[in-house]
Amino acid sequence: MKGIHGWFKKHLGWVLLGVAGIILIVFCNLHDPVSMRFWNHLTYKSEALAAWVAALATVVLAFGLWLTMRSMRISAQVATFQIMYERFNAPNMRYARAVLAKTHLQHKVEEPLKDLFIPSVGWLIIGFLNQVGKLIEDERLDFEDVELIYADHVMAIGERWGTRVNDESHLPRYAPFCNMYKKMKESNSSHVFRNELDVYYDRAFWECEESLDATAKAEC
């Protein structure tokens, strides 16, 4: 049922145009089959012209309504995206990202390719990304926009700590994150991280995340 509802919302414009087209044909043929060619009846059946005008007005109004609704939805998505982006770069989130990076770098040699313990502040990041995943499911954020900004973090966490996040004791709480991670992994877009080896060897990303600690403390 949710899939049907999502399809309907996505194709609402075409549905409205289709319905308006059906109304156009039916309404213009109510009294006379040949009234579709209203120019032949301007003298005797001027109501055909009125029917055409009314039907065309219905099409225009329906399409205008769809454009308005689409514009409002996009504007709301942009506003939500901006709020989430500012939250992700707030001092407390940068500190949490830095701690998570330190944890990874510290155990990189000691426990290579092992599913590591997630520090408590690391769950703050996962919780945030989980909210992002839920907003995608609710169509309040566009997946492609989210993928552009958060894909590296989602992929890194998913590959390094995925089994812990996906543990039965945490489901379905983190299901939106897991679904978003799976969708990004199956995406054709280019990401820094594609598998666990990428996470293990890409030190530049983790050192960049680790350096966020200094900027976060400077703002506190």
Q: Each residue's pLDDT tens digit in the chain (220 positions)? A: 444 555 555 555 566 666 666 665 555 555 554 444 544 545 444 556 566 666 777 777 777 777 778 788 888 889 999 999 999 999 999 999 999 999 888 877 666 555 567 888 889 999 999 999 999 999 999 999 999 999 999 999 998 888 888 876 766 889 999 999 999 999 878 788 888 888 888 899 999 999 997 654 545 4
| Alpha carbon distance 117, 73 (integer Å) | 40
Q: 200: which 2 tokens? A: 């293990």
pLDDT at res. 110: 62
Structure-block tokens of residue 21: 């087209």
Query: CB of 84 within 8 A of CB of 135?
Result: yes
Question: The whole model's pTM is what?
Answer: 0.70
* Preceding peptide of 91 cis, ω within 30°: no
How far apart are the C-alpha atoms of 211 and 46, rounded to whole Å? 77
Q: What is the pLDDT of residues 171-186, one digit of tens each?
A: 688 999 999 999 999 9
Q: Please answer whether residues 165 and 189 qualify as being in contact, where contact means their C-beta atoms are separated by less than 8 angstroms.
A: no
For helices 91-110 and 122-137, what crossing angle results, to 10°? 110
Q: What is the Cα–Cα distance from 152 to 104, expressed in whole angstroms?
A: 15
Give the residue carrying structure tokens 């926009």: 145
Could you tell me the residue ranges of all domains in the chain? 2-76, 89-219
How many Cβ atoms are within 10 Å of 81's Cβ, its own excluded? 18
pLDDT of residue 108: 73
Nearest alpha carbon to residue 28 among 62, 61, 53: 53
Q: What pLDDT is recorded for position 116?
A: 66
